[in-house]
Structure 1
Amino acid sequence: MSNELYISSTQKGERIALLQDKRLIEYHFDNAESHFAVGDIYLGTVKKVVSGLNAAFIDIGYEKDAFLHYHDLSPNIKSLNAYTKGILNKKPFSTKLKGFRMQPQIDKLGKITDVLTKGQPILVQVVKEPISSKGPRLSCDISIAGRYVVLVPFANAVNISKKITSKQERQRLHKLLYSVKPENFGVIVRTVAENKDIQDLQRDLEECVEKWEAGIRALKSAKSRDRIVTEMDRAASLLRDMLNDDFDNIVVDDKDNFDKISSFLQSIAPEKAKILKYHNNTKSKLYEHYGIEKQLKSCFGKSVSLPSGGYLIIEHTEALHVIDVNSGNKSTKEDDQEATAINVNKEAAKEIARQLRLRDMGGIVVVDFIDMKKAQNRREINEVLKAEMKGDRSKYTILPITKFGLAQITRQRVRPEMNIITKEKCPTCSGTGNIQASIAVTDTIENNLEHLMEKQNESGVSMILHPFIYAYYKEGLVSRQMKWFFKYKKWIKLTKDTSLGVTDFHFLNSHGEEIELA
């Protein structure tokens, strides 16, 4: 299995595509100005305690107060609150919690009114980003994630990932981590730590402790709503969590990003530094060059095609997601309707697992498979669905398929669902139905270019065009692009972009910034 990561930088943030055997399986957009990301730690203020919900609303700077339930407080919330209060009051507490006196744990079935009061400062961590009309969801069970371990302040236990099944290896890891972990810190050992040397584990643990200490130093002078610890960006966190021997390529198109990821790879997996590549092809964008743009357009939409001719219809509602499986123009090579249903449903199960991960769909998902008469066949499709979803990093539950062909899936949702608009407004009429002469686009481009070159005396001008218009300017031994060079004594660089409409185009200056046209 081959994994590849492609990171394209834009003015608004980074587009991140994860491919498995050349098929797109994850797509993320990391907004450069995003706050309240999963893993961020804030100094908040309790705005309201609601005994009926057994929860509190916390002000961390978002337009709506964040939600904190009693079950997310952490058993050691009293220790966290005492430490936070002491740091804010300039008490000489150790940043490593050395010598800190732990407070009694709270009752699992207690009331939030016994723990929090209005106006109280509190250290919280985002576990769910703002979605739709809801604010962030918070936890006081603070954790700092590393590559091999997760550091848990105000705890003492060493827990091993359940995916590490070897009893001998579990005992080895437990003994090693218990011997090196700091006082008043717990540790969760991640799956990738299996068979790793103590040096790697200890170095990763020390980096987590350093991150915690840096946050506590920031807390000493912090004000309410301040972010104390920032989670690493989406690309780095993907590499931290998923980088293994199956990764063949990491391609970026921004030099600063290349240097940053190169440094990160050197710190977590020096042997993988050679797979990082810099895309500096001026003729085509990164996603165009590797065919990712085309995959994005075909994967996101109401209708998703299956290889055999069947298709999925994906509908989104406020309460849940509904996926309908249709046989479409599936060839009838099978002996009977049951065999056709099984084959289409198997393809659908594989694509559904991919779509859930690709779109980051969460909450309740109901799948209407094609009806199958035999219970054995329904169980077989259910097993295919479970097998395909094993690679999903989000928590999920899959219930057996009912006799009506309905499968119910719940999937953890921690971020807004990823959506890409695949229905395009006609570039000629802008959806009005009134068509103007599209052939005039070349005249418009020529007039704008002449104005930029002769009136504004721009230099280093480049143009982004639809591939059809791009080909028009590049054709011939003496192309129209070459004629521009003879006319203006300056080279105009052309780049094609299939995401544009036929009559859309953009002019960029020498800094890569779009030039506003009159």
Structure 2
Amino acid sequence: MSNELLINSTQKGERIALLQDKRLLEYHVEVPDQSFTVGDIYLGTVRKLVSGLNAAFVDVGFEKDAFLHYLDLGPNINSLNKLTKDVIAKRVHSGKLNNFKMEPEIEKLGKIDKVLSKNQPILVQIVKEPISTKGPRLSCDISIAGRYIVLVPFSNSVNLSKKITDKQERNRLQKLMSSIKPANFGVIIRTVAQGTDVDELNKDLKDCLEKWENGIKNLKDAKPRDRVIGEMNRASSIIRDMLNESFDSITVDSKEVYDDIKAYIHNIAPDKENILRLHNGKNKLFEQFGLEKQIKSLFGRSVSLPNGGYLIIEHTEALHVIDVNSGNKSNSEEDQEATALSVNLEAAKEIARQLRLRDMGGIIVVDFIDMKKAENKRVLFDTMRDEMKGDRSKYTVLPLSKFGLLQITRQRVRPEMNIVTREVCPTCGGSGSIQASILVSDVIANNLDYILTKQNERGITISLHPFLYAFFTKGLISEQVKWLFRYKTWVKLIKDTSLGVVDFKFHNQYGEEIEIVPGN
């Protein structure tokens, strides 16, 4: 099983696609001016205490105040508040906690107004980005993620991922981290740490400590709403979490992004530098890997299954509903029960993929095709759990109910990915009236004539829809060949499925888009 990461830079930000065996598994859009990222640590101000909710609303710079529940304060909130106060007052100049006197832990079932006060400065971490009409969700249980470990200030425990099942390895990692971690810092050991030697773990620990130390330095001169510690961008966090032996390649089409990622990989895994590539191909990166078509086909309300079945995915404010249908599935199986099982197992694989692809969270209810045999229901449940194992978000899968419904809860920390898969007709603009679409070939020819004869451009490239591409290149003496005889220069044509059927773009020899003069 191969994993490939593709990063396409656009004017609106980076498009990040994670492919598994050439199939799109995760898709993210990194918007540069998006201010809140999960993991970011801010200096906030308590604006309101709500006793009925046992929660506080904190100003971190979003249009709506962020939500902080008592249970998200963490047991050592008093120690965090003490350090924050001392650093702001410049009584403390370092983030080292060796000689720090810890405050008593708060009660598990206490009241928030006994811990926080209005207008109090507080160090908080984003655990959920703003979603819909809600502001960010916060925590004061600060943690700093590295590649192999998660550093937890004001704690002394060493915890391991439940996915590390080997007892001997668990004992090794437990003893190792207990011996190298500094006082008053806890550590959570991640699954990827299995088999890692002490040098790698120690380096990762030092990187996390350096990040914490830099954050404390920023806190000294920070103003309310300032970001004190910033989480890395989405591309780097995917690389950090997933870079392993099965990661085959990382391809980017921007030199700036290439240099940033190369420096990051050199820092965390120098032996993996050779898998990073800068795309210099003639076709667009996503076009070359066939991703534009995958994106358009995978984000619609209806999603087709390989053997004829399909899913209907509906979204509401409270939950997501997925309906499984057999469609024109062949009845080559023995009976209806066998057909239902076959479609359901195929659907389970696609549903697990769709949850990651769209980053769907909250409650997901799946209406599978009814099956009568308890054994088949158990096979379906086991398959669903197995397919979900690769998901990095926290989730819970419940067995099928009496009505054949399967319920999944999945952690939602950022807005769901939603791609518009229905397009307004580029010819009629949605009016339903088509005007002179047949003349598009003449429009292209006229523009080409103007660019070559009036502007004296050479090395012209035209990007156009595959239908137009076929029109200009078909036949022995095609329109493209006629242009060669007429203008004594070869005009290059490139298929681009991201363009509308009557859309086109001209580029000069340097790859810069040529602005078309109206009327030509």
TM-score range, shorter chain: over 0.9
Quick one: structure 1 residues 482 and 117, their matched pair in 2 at CA, closer, same or farther if it must change by over 3 Å? farther
Q: Secondary structure at the match of 2:207?
A: helix
Please give the per-residue CA displacement for 1:166-205, whole angstroms capped at 9, x wherever unaligned.
Answer: 2222222122212221222111111111121111000111
Q: Which amino acid aligns with 2:94?
A: S
TM-score normalised to structure 1 length: 0.94
Matched, 1:344 2:343: yes
- Judged with a 3 Å threshold, the aligned counterparts in structure 2 of structure 1 residues 338 and 118 are, in CA distance, closer, same or farther, namely same
Relative distance call for 1:64 and 1:445 in structure 2 (3 A) is: farther
Alignment of 1:57-206 (within 5 A): 57-206=57-206
- Per the TM alignment, residue 446 of structure 1 is displaced from its structure 2 partner at its CA by 4.2
SS state of the match for residue 356, structure 2? Answer: helix
Contact map agreement 1:128 1:415 (CA 8 A) in 2: yes
Partner of 1:32: 32
1:220-369 → structure 2 map (5 Å cutoff): 220-282=220-282, 284-369=283-368
CA distance in 1, matches of 2:39, 2:415: 15
- State whether residues 94 and 217 of structure 2, in contact with CA within 8 Å, keep that contact through their aligned partners in structure 1: no
SS of the aligned residue for 2:47 comes to strand
CA change 1:483–1:253 in 2 (3 A) is farther
The question of 1:466 aligning with 2:504 is answered no
Task: Classify the secondary structure of the residue corresponding to 2:171.
Answer: helix
CA contact (8 A) 1:362 1:413 kept: yes
- Deviation for aligned residue 1:482: 7.4
Mean Cα displacement is larger for which, 499-508 or 327-336? 499-508
Counterpart check, 1:212 vs 2:212: yes
Query: Partners of 1:472 and 1:487 in 2: how far apart?
Result: 18
Confirm or deny: 8 A CA contact 1:375 1:403 kept in the other structure.
Answer: no
Tell me if the contact between 1:151 and 1:185 (Cα under 8 Å) persists in the aligned partners.
Answer: yes
Q: Is contact 1:124–1:139 with CA below 8 Å preserved after alignment? A: yes
Aligned residues: 517
Is the CA contact (8 Å cut-off) linking 2:49 and 2:118 kept in structure 1?
Answer: yes
* Counterpart for residue 376 of structure 1: 375
Q: CA deviation at 1:97?
A: 2.6
CA distance in 1, matches of 2:12, 2:491: 25
Greater CA drift, 503-512 or 268-277? 503-512
- Measured at CA, do residues 9 and 486 of structure 1 come closer, stay the same or move farther in structure 2, by a change above 3 Å? farther
Sequence identity percentage = 67
Deviates more, 1:507-516 or 1:343-352: 507-516
Measure, in 2, the Cα distance between the counterparts of 1:309 and 1:359.
Answer: 22
How far apart are residue 230 of structure 1 and its match? 1.0
Identify if the C-alpha distance between structure 1 residues 13 and 102 changes in structure 2 by more than 3 Å, giving closer, same or farther.
same
Contact 2:318–2:363 under 8 Å retained in 1: yes
- Is the 8 Å Cα contact of residues 94 and 216 (structure 2) preserved in structure 1? no
Deviation at 1:443, TM superposition (A): 3.1
- Provide, for residues 16-71 of structure 1, a one-character-per-residue CA deviation record: whole Å limited to 9, x for no partner: 11111222111111112221110111111111111111111111111111111111
**In 2 relative to 1, CA 459–354 (structure 1 residues): closer, same or farther, beyond 3 Å?**
same
Q: In the superposition, relative to structure 1, how do residues 129 and 485 fare at CA in structure 2: closer, same or farther (>3 Å)?
A: farther
In the alignment, residue 363 of structure 2 is paired with which amino acid?
A: I
1:124 partner SS: strand
Pairwise CA distance, 1:94: 2.1
When structure 1 is superposed on structure 2, of 448-457 and 30-39 the one drifting more is 448-457
TM-superposition CA deviations, 1:231-278 (whole Å, max 9, x none): 111111111101111111211111121122122222222222212222
Q: Deviations over 1:195-239 (max 9, x none)?
A: 211110001110111111111111111111111111111111111
Q: What residue identity is the alignment partner of 1:442?
A: S
Structure 1 pair 121–466 and aligned structure 2 pair: CA distance change class (3 A): same
The secondary structure found in structure 2 opposite 1:367 is strand
Q: Secondary structure at the match of 1:211?
A: helix
CA positional deviation for 1:450: 5.7
- Asked if the contact 1:67/1:135 (under 8 Å) is kept, the reply is yes
Q: Which amino acid in the other structure matches residue 311 of structure 2?
A: L
Q: Distance in 2 between matches of 1:183 and 1:491?
A: 70
> How far does residue 513 in structure 1 lie from its aligned partner after superposition?
6.3
Deviation at 1:469, TM superposition (A): 2.4
The structure-2 alpha-carbon separation of the partners of 1:82 and 1:325, relative to structure 1 and needing over 3 Å to count, comes to: same
- Whether the 8 Å CA contact 2:102–2:154 is kept in 1: the answer is yes
Could you tell me how far apart the structure 1 residues matched to 2:29 and 2:83 are?
36
Code of the residue aligned with 1:293 in structure 2: it is: E
SS of aligned partner of 2:498:
coil
SS of the residue 1:67 aligns to: strand
The amino acid that maps onto 1:43 is: L
The answer on whether the counterparts of 1:309 and 1:330 sit within 8 Å (CA) in structure 2 is: yes
- Mapped partners of 2:514, 2:394: distance in 1: 42
Partners of 2:356 and 2:256 in 1: CA distance: 29
Conserved 8 A contact 1:285-1:495 = no
In the superposition, relative to structure 1, how do residues 92 and 493 fare at CA in structure 2: closer, same or farther (>3 Å)? farther
Does structure 2 conserve the Cα–Cα contact (< 8 Å) formed by 1:93 and 1:100? no
Any conservation in 2 of the 1:362–1:417 contact (CA below 8 Å)? yes
TM-aligned CA deviation for residue 480 of structure 1: 5.5
1:6 aligns with 2:6: yes
Post-superposition shift, 1:505?
2.4
Q: 1:326 to 1:79 in 2, by over 3 A?
A: same
Which structure 2 segments of 5+ residues have no match? none
Q: 1:455 to 1:90 in 2, by over 3 A?
A: farther
- Shift of the 118–102 alpha-carbon distance from structure 1 to 2, 3 Å rule, reads same
- Give the distance between the partners of 1:490 and 1:135, measured in 2 at CA: 57
TM-score, structure 2 normalization:
0.93
Write the mapping of 1:348-497 to structure 2, written as runs, cut at 5 A.
348-448=347-447, 463-473=462-472, 494-497=493-496
Q: In structure 1, the residue corresponding to 2:79 is in which secondary structure?
A: helix
